[in-house]
Each structure stands twice: as C-alpha cells, then as structure tokens.
Amino acid sequence: MSNSHAIIGLYFDKSAHDFDKIARLFDIIGLYFDKSAHDFDKITRLFDMIRLYFDKLTPHLDKIARLFDIIGQYFDKSAHDFDKIARLFDIIGLYFDKSAHDFDKIARLFDII
C-alpha cells in the first residue's frame, strides 16, 4: 500500500492515533483545490514549500527540511519547546496576514531569516 493510500485510510479511521492531524491535512488539501478559498494564496505557497521539501535538488533543501521538522514539532503537543514553536507559528500566520498591525516589521524579520 502506498503512503498516500495509508493516509487516506487513516482519514476514515476515527480511532487513528493522529486523527486530528490527518483531518487537518485533508482540510488544507481541500482548500488547495478550492480556488475561491479565503486563504488561497497562503495554501498555494504551503504546497509550493511541500513540493520543494521532496525536491532533493533544491538549493535550499536544508532550510526547507528544518522548516518541516519545526512543523512536525508544532503538531507534537509533548514537544519540549512547544510554547516557542506555537509562538513561531503565530508569527508565521501574521507574516501571511497583510492587514496585521506590524506587517512591515514581521516581513523584515522574515527577510532577515
């Protein structure tokens, strides 16, 4: 069974250990195909990053792999640095929110990173 088939199977298994994560993933995938979705640009960018993650030839592979490690920890409520990671994701959310009060500062921070 391919990995994608296994994930789809887990999506329908309400007793699956990581059901919340899997359901959220499917919500994001659904939004990816919904061109009228409110956050369509954000979702498209997320999928571009996911594609880069699997492209071993990309010049930024180390950065992208590290990002995915951080994302994995974001969903692991028992992670040692959970508070820091959750705060990072709040900042990332603000980065994509063009109406955020401190948008210029946040964008500059991401340029520096």
> What is the pTM (predicted TM-score) of this model?
0.25
Which residues of 15-99 form beta strands (DSSP E)? none
Q: Could you give the CA distance from residue 103 to residue 10 in angstroms, rounded to a whole number?
A: 38
Q: Could you give the CA distance from residue 26 to residue 12 in angstroms, rounded to a whole number?
A: 11
Quick one: tokens of 5?
């088939």
Q: Could you give the CA distance from residue 83 to residue 32 in angstroms, rounded to a whole number?
A: 28
Q: Could you give the CA distance from residue 103 to residue 21 in angstroms, rounded to a whole number?
A: 29
The confidence band for 110, taking pLDDT boundaries of 50, 70 and 90, is low
Interval 49-95: pLDDT, tens: 666 555 667 676 666 566 666 555 555 556 566 566 566 655 555 55
Average confidence (pLDDT) over 95-106: 57
Q: Is the pLDDT of residue 113 over 50?
A: no
Interval 7-58: pLDDT, tens: 555 555 566 666 666 566 666 666 555 666 666 666 666 666 666 555 667 6
* DSSP letter for each residue of 89-101: HHHHHHHH-TT-T
In this structure, are residues 106 and 95 in contact, taking their beta carbons and an 8 Å threshold?
yes
